[in-house]
Chain A
């Protein structure tokens, strides 16, 4: 359904959702915006010319969570909290797409993560398209876009005084029940806004044969070059909406088994108990990060594992830019593989 929402009616609508849902939306925290629970006094941030700093993946895979609590005499109990039905409002298309990508990892017949699944099932996602696309992002280059609709129950298009609301599910319909239906003309105007946003985004790098180039140049000193100034911190991975690695640790003092975010850029990530480290330096770790997104995701689910959100570009403390790294990769030698 295509509906019209007056901007000035948004605040009341959001508040009305609180009766039945926990509502999360981007709000100001220090110098950035962050998905936080809606309260009576919350101020929604929609006008930042870029994305929230921490991606909304943290609403589905928290930075740290207790899985199991140990009891006396060798027993244990579930440490999970019950999740209330939730609405995540203002999620950007790249981040919604990322959540869909992560489903392919967390929801599989035999190996479904119950925590992820429960949060997913209980969450309605309402997107806000990027009518003025950010400068660090490159969603169109990796096959998505500023009004990409994957995984959204509804998406809003900013049209000045009003939003056009497109709903894609019953849950989405229910959230916007009672709003006037948009005239065909208005809908066409919204589509024009969406297309113009899409067209504003330059091609950041060529993706044709990129996978083969990266794969076939596993040992090229390209990797030494692009990783030289990397600090080996967790910024690009923790802030990435599609990075999902975690580490399970027994916090014996708390008597808890916890799950924490982990990063392939850390030395300890691939360190084995023997002391051997198969990815001994930043060179191998950088290669892993890039290859996971631009080679292995394609092998596994035939999708690029980067949604072009631009966070790693914007916040890398040494200005390492994945766009220019991949542009450099463009000139790597390769042979077309003729596999059927």
Chain B
């Protein structure tokens, strides 16, 4: 875990010196399992800043929700850094108005897996390298950290923030790209019937709460296609057609933009798997276009890049 004091010191400096107007990070929640995104506007508030493996949101989602002119500091992990870059590419923020405090990420913990293992009465969670020390009403329990990670974090390729303005702590080893590839290929190896059955089982449990969309930094449209009334692009209800349509089109709109952070899955109250769809798109982007979203803050995603001499002119 990166040194919390070093993060705080930097956040304080940014606010005290007026480098930024606000630092977006986390603060402690009501229980150790649920730290909350928080907005620090003065140096003396920063003592409340926390950072640990249970900070489950992608903070980049707040970038499009603070006033556009404001100067923003943000504590970013690998995926958040990439999301910020992707948003800069899409002109949602000027890079010059940002200061990124980078923290190498050891993967986000799944609180549901933890309570599934140790019960509800979690009093504290200490992370120590490969281990988790959980304190409950019944006493202490030592767990293997890796077993409690979210799936998207287990297959993460770039845990390090690659274009942060300052990096707190040592960069970690890059992830193995084969893990991401294998996840996609294993799914593809199934029969078409099995894949459709999986898709139905996942999508049709949806309650259309749109937490996945709201949690995603790349879902910043003022009006989402599902909210459009005339013409109506998707059936409104929690019907099979409505839910399937939502899942497919949401994923499609992420092509070349999704940074595999998994925030959508973590936000879902129905435990719906959905990154298997975006991972397929990400996989195709890597294989067919040699492109990964957010690696820098300049390159347009292949499907967004339009040039006048494009051989395959887009026609409607």
| 20 additional A-B residue pairs with CB within 8 Å, beyond A64-B237, A317-B211 | A30-B271, A31-B112, A31-B271, A32-B271, A49-B120, A53-B269, A63-B208, A63-B238, A229-B37, A229-B62, A234-B210, A238-B269, A239-B269, A260-B237, A261-B207, A267-B227, A315-B269, A317-B266, A319-B30, A319-B36
**Given the complex, which residues of B lie within 8 Å of A315, measured CB to CB?**
269
User: At the interface, yes or no: A232 with Cβ under 8 Å from chain B?
Assistant: yes
Alpha-carbon distance between A239 and B205 when the two chains are bound, in angstroms: 14
Partner of A318, one of B31, B37, B205: B37
Q: Which of A64, A229, A313 has the most CB of B within 10 A?
A: A229
Whether the pair B116, A260 counts as a contact (CB closer than 8 A) is no
Q: From known contacts A233-B209, A238-B209, infer whether A321 and B237 are also in contact, taking CB-CB under 8 Å.
A: no
Indicate the size class of the contact surface on chain A: 35 or more
Whether the pair B236, A229 counts as a contact (CB closer than 8 A) is no
Alpha-carbon distance between A232 and B270 when the two chains are bound, in angstroms: 17
Q: Determine how close the nearest CB of chain A comes to the CB of B258; give it in whole angstroms.
A: 18
Alpha-carbon distance between A231 and B266 when the two chains are bound, in angstroms: 13
Whether the pair A228, B39 counts as a contact (CB closer than 8 A) is yes
A-B contact count (CB 8 A): 109
Q: From known contacts A233-B267, A315-B269, infer whether A64 and B30 are also in contact, taking CB-CB under 8 Å.
A: no
**Could you jot down 30 A-B contacts, CB within 8 Å?**
A30-B271, A31-B112, A32-B271, A50-B120, A63-B208, A63-B237, A63-B238, A64-B238, A64-B239, A135-B31, A228-B38, A229-B36, A229-B37, A229-B62, A231-B267, A233-B209, A234-B209, A235-B267, A238-B269, A249-B236, A249-B237, A251-B237, A253-B235, A263-B209, A317-B214, A317-B269, A318-B57, A319-B29, A319-B36, A321-B29
User: At the interface, yes or no: B34 with Cβ under 8 Å from chain A?
Assistant: yes
Alpha-carbon distance between A229 and B209 when the two chains are bound, in angstroms: 17
Indicate with 1 or 0, residue by residue over A232-247, a CB within 8 angstroms of chain B CB atoms: 1111001100000001
Partner of A235, one of B62, B211, B239: B211
User: At the interface, yes or no: B169 with Cβ under 8 Å from chain A?
Assistant: no
Q: Determine how close the nearest CB of chain A comes to the CB of B142; give it in whole angstroms.
A: 22
Q: Determine how close the nearest CB of chain B comes to the CB of A249; give it in whole angstroms.
A: 5
User: At the interface, yes or no: B61 with Cβ under 8 Å from chain A?
Assistant: yes
Q: Determine how close the nearest CB of chain A comes to the CB of B233; give it in whole angstroms.
A: 12
Q: From known contacts A229-B38, A235-B211, infer whether A313 and B120 are also in contact, taking CB-CB under 8 Å.
A: no
**Given the complex, which residues of B lie within 8 Å of A323, measured CB to CB?**
30
**Given the complex, which residues of B lie within 8 Å of A304, measured CB to CB?**
none
Whether the pair B120, A54 counts as a contact (CB closer than 8 A) is no
Q: Is the interface of A mostly helix, strand, loop or mixed?
A: loop
User: At the interface, yes or no: B18 with Cβ under 8 Å from chain A?
Assistant: no
Q: From known contacts A31-B112, A50-B120, A319-B30, infer whether A234 and B207 are also in contact, taking CB-CB under 8 Å.
A: yes
User: At the interface, yes or no: B298 with Cβ under 8 Å from chain A?
Assistant: no
User: At the interface, yes or no: A171 with Cβ under 8 Å from chain B?
Assistant: no
Within 8 A of A (CB), among B1-45: 29-31, 34-39
